Amino acid sequence: MLCTATVSASLSPISAIAAKMVSVPSISLGPMIGLAWDTCLLLRFSLLWAGIYFGLLAKSPEAAGASWALLFPLTMLVNTFASPELMPGWLGAIANWNPLSATVTATRELFKNPGVGGDSWATENSMLLAVAWPILLMLIFAPLAVRRYRNRSI
């Protein structure tokens, strides 16, 4: 509950500031920029918990640095540069359901600049998944990280 309150308290002022900063004649993008920023921060916050957990699992600082290799495929298997429809079937499915893909697609939609499209459920509901994936990741990794930190031997 504290994490949820902290996230919403830290994201709300960013949305308000971004909403006042940007205004285009006839199209006000201010609130959209704030929401886009908030979805990126929400994903970052959830991945931070995953990083903390994997770092706590590591036996040495070198092994903690090497844990980046676990997250590397997450950053490459996305719809940022190529449409998942152009990928082999299994790879396109992974790219469609990647948390980063949902955030990228939602951010593009909020900026009124849709990128690579698609007719998959994940692409059509990217805004929902851009919020659901980070919450799910936090629900998994935050308790694991806290438990691992409490049980580590000093």
pLDDT of residue 91: 87
SS (H, E, C) the chain: CHHHHHHHHHHHHHHHHHHHHCCECCECCHHHHHHHHHHHHHHHHHHHHHHHHHHHHCCCHHHHHHCHHHHHHHHHCCCCCCCHHHCCHHHHHHHHCCHHHHHHHHHHHHCCCCCCCCCCHHHHCHHHHHHHHHHHHHHHHHHHHHHHHHHCCC
Q: Is the pLDDT of residue 138 over 90?
A: yes
- pLDDT at res. 116: 67
pLDDT digits (tens, 9 = 90+) for 5-49: 344 444 455 554 444 444 444 355 677 778 888 888 999 999 899
- Whether the pLDDT of residue 4 is over 60: the answer is no
In this prediction, residue 18 carries a pLDDT of 46
* pLDDT tens figures, 78-131: 888 888 888 888 888 888 888 888 888 888 888 887 766 677 888 888 889 999
- Where are the domains positioned within the chain? 30-59+66-151
pLDDT higher at 144 or 123: 144
